């Protein structure tokens, strides 16, 4: 590719050439292009100089293209067609789309849309591949390095990460019969912090809502020092079974209830609302926002936009997700 030669080509000249060839008249071509006849005549002269050929000869009925003009037209027409396609929005059909989407979200978030999403992909987009993994402390870096979607509790995202609020999720306390407070009719935050706790998928980046809440509680004198921190649902179940309190989402509470109902050998589980003093101290009042986020490079990508809107809609239809 000779850059110096390409720089001599002016797209307006090529368009003028093609229209003159189609009209066989400078005046009609000028009218069609919305320019004056003298201006188009100057463009024709530049074309003759550029290609070192008269290109058109004058006849009684108008202009007649030279053989060189016909040769050039066969080359120029597809170029103009391709350039025109650059301005058209990319079209896609989910039924034939072949693409892998990578989602980072904690398990309780995935459960809000997992079932309808898999059904939709099976019937409407069978060639799409889905990869899921837990959100990590490097989640925003992962979005910059190719991960398609992140779903998390956060109050804000970095400047180059786009986000949309999905809704809010209620928090609750999950206790087993082994916990000292299991049979208490009323539970206070002061009571909870006196006993062992387990935390599931607590994030420590600055904008994580759990981090904001914990910092606020510590300033008020409520220090939560978990016995176990984990992103494993199996470890969390065992910790709750052995008498540790779990503060999580209402959706996670239902998961625990379902597991207890279908698995023998587990202690009964009680799911209770957050203590009122915990709600009062929580900056989010026990209803933490859920964000869906993606890197700005995918913002106008039609396939990505379609996929994230599917996830967003399925999540908003979840019984555990509420509007503000």
Tokens representing 68 are 């060189």
Residue 17 in any domain: the answer is yes
Residue 323 in any domain: the answer is no
Contact 253, 172 (CB under 8 A): yes
Distant-in-sequence, close-in-space partners of 89: CB < 8 Å, separation ≥ 6:
302
How much is the mean pLDDT over the chain? 86
Residue 236 in any domain: the answer is yes
Residue 324 in any domain: the answer is no
Rounded to the nearest 10 degrees, what angle do helices 37-51 and 26-33 cross at? 110
Full domain range(s) for residue 28: 3-86
pLDDT digits (tens, 9 = 90+) for 206-248: 667 877 888 888 888 888 778 888 888 888 888 888 899 988 8
Looking at residue 79, what is its pLDDT? 85
9 and 139 both lie in a single domain: no
- Domain boundary (23, 56, 86) is at 86
Is the entire prediction scored with pTM above 0.75? Answer: no
185 and 71 both lie in a single domain: no
- Domain boundary (86, 117, 152) is at 86
Residue 94 in any domain: the answer is no
Contact 204, 211 (CB under 8 A): yes
CATH of the domain at 28: 1.10.10.10
pLDDT interval class at 62 (50, 70, 90): confident
Give ∠ CA 230-112-281 in degrees, rounded to 5: 60
pLDDT digits (tens, 9 = 90+) for 111-164: 888 899 999 988 999 999 999 998 888 889 999 888 999 999 888 888 889 999
Say how far apart CA 40 and CA 16 lie, in whole Å: 7
Residue with tokens 């929005």, as numbered in its chain:
89
Looking at residue 226, what is its pLDDT? 82
14 and 142 both lie in a single domain: no
pLDDT digits (tens, 9 = 90+) for 281-294: 888 898 989 999 99
144 and 267 both lie in a single domain: yes
Length of the chain: 324
* Number of structural domains in the chain: 2
Between residues 313 and 90, which one has the greater pLDDT? 313
Looking at residue 264, what is its pLDDT? 63
Average pLDDT of 291-299?
93
319 backbone dihedrals φ, ψ, rounded to 5°:
-65, -15
CATH of the domain at 272: 3.40.190.290
Other beta carbons within 10 angstroms of residue 207's beta carbon come to 16
81 and 173 both lie in a single domain: no
Looking at residue 222, what is its pLDDT? 82
155 and 202 both lie in a single domain: yes
- Label the pairing between strands 62-65 and 56-59: antiparallel
């Amino acid at each position: 590719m000779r850059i110096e030669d390409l720089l001599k080509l002016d797209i307006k000249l090529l368009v003028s050439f093609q229209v003159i060839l189609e009209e066989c008249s400078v005046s009609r071509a000028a009218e069609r292009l919305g320019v004056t006849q003298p201006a188009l005549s100057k463009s024709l002269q530049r074309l003759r100089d550029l290609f070192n050929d008269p290109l058109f000869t004058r006849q009684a009925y108008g202009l007649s293209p030279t053989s060189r003009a016909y040769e050039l037209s066969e080359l120029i027409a597809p170029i103009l067609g391709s350039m025109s396609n650059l301005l058209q929005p990319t079209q896609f059909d989910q039924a034939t789309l072949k693409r892998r989407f990578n989602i980072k979200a904690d398990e309780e978030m995935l459960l809000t849309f997992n079932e309808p999403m898999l059904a939709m992909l099976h019937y409407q987009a069978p060639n799409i591949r889905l990869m899921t993994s837990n959100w990590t402390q490097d989640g925003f870096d992962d979005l910059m390095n190719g991960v398609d979607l992140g779903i998390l509790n956060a109050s804000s995202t970095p400047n180059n990460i786009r986000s949309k609020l999905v809704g809010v999720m209620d928090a609750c306390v999950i206790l087993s019969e082994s916990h000292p407070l299991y049979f208490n009719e009323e539970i206070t935050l002061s009571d909870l912090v006196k006993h062992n706790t387990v935390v599931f998928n607590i994030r420590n980046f600055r904008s994580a809502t759990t981090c904001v809440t914990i910092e606020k509680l510590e300033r008020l004198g409520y220090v939560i020092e978990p016995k176990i921190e984990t992103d494993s649902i199996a470890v969390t179940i065992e910790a709750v079974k052995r008498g540790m309190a779990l503060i999580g989402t209402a959706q996670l509470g239902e998961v625990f209830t379902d597991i207890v109902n279908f698995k023998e050998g587990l202690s009964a589980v009680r799911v209770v609302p957050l203590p009122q003093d915990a709600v009062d101290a929580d900056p989010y009042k026990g209803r933490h926002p859920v964000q869906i986020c993606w890197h700005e490079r995918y913002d106008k990508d039609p396939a990505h936009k379609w996929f994230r809107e599917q996830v967003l809609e399925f999540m908003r239809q979840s019984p555990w997700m509420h509007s503000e």
